[in-house]
Amino acid sequence: QVQLVESGGGLVQAGGSLRLSCSFSGGTFSRYGMGWFRQAPGKEREFVAARSWTGTYTRSAESVKGRFTISRDNAKNTVYLQMNNLKTEDTAVYYCAADLLGDGSRGAVNYDYWGQGTQVTVSS
């Protein structure tokens, strides 16, 4: 059974940076497209960024383009989300997700496995 564990969340001031990590186990990581989603209080879960299983396709939400970067290290079975120039509106619980042979979909429904989430709080 695939398991995903996020880490790296925390409290940061606006303009600061954080790097989230998501450790994958229980399957062949290289065969999974990986995505990051977030959910703020009172809002629906939204797409942040994703990378295809081949590494060919990378997608990100307009709200984070130029600030957030998704990357993956297949040797470490880990996907990362580097977040720079954080804004208060980035405050949310961040989830990573895995999609078997996925092409980096923006749709949460396409993902097979989810982590438990990590809290990111950006203060003004």
Average pLDDT over residues 13-31: 98
Separation CA 78–CA 59 (nearest Å): 18
The pLDDT, as a whole number, for residue 55 is 87
For residues 32 and 20, the answer to whether their CB atoms sit within 8 Å is no
Tell me the pLDDT tens digit for each residue of 27-85.
999 999 999 999 999 999 999 999 999 989 999 999 999 999 999 999 999 999 999 99
Tell me the pLDDT tens digit for each residue of 77-122.
999 999 999 999 999 999 999 999 999 999 999 999 999 999 999 9
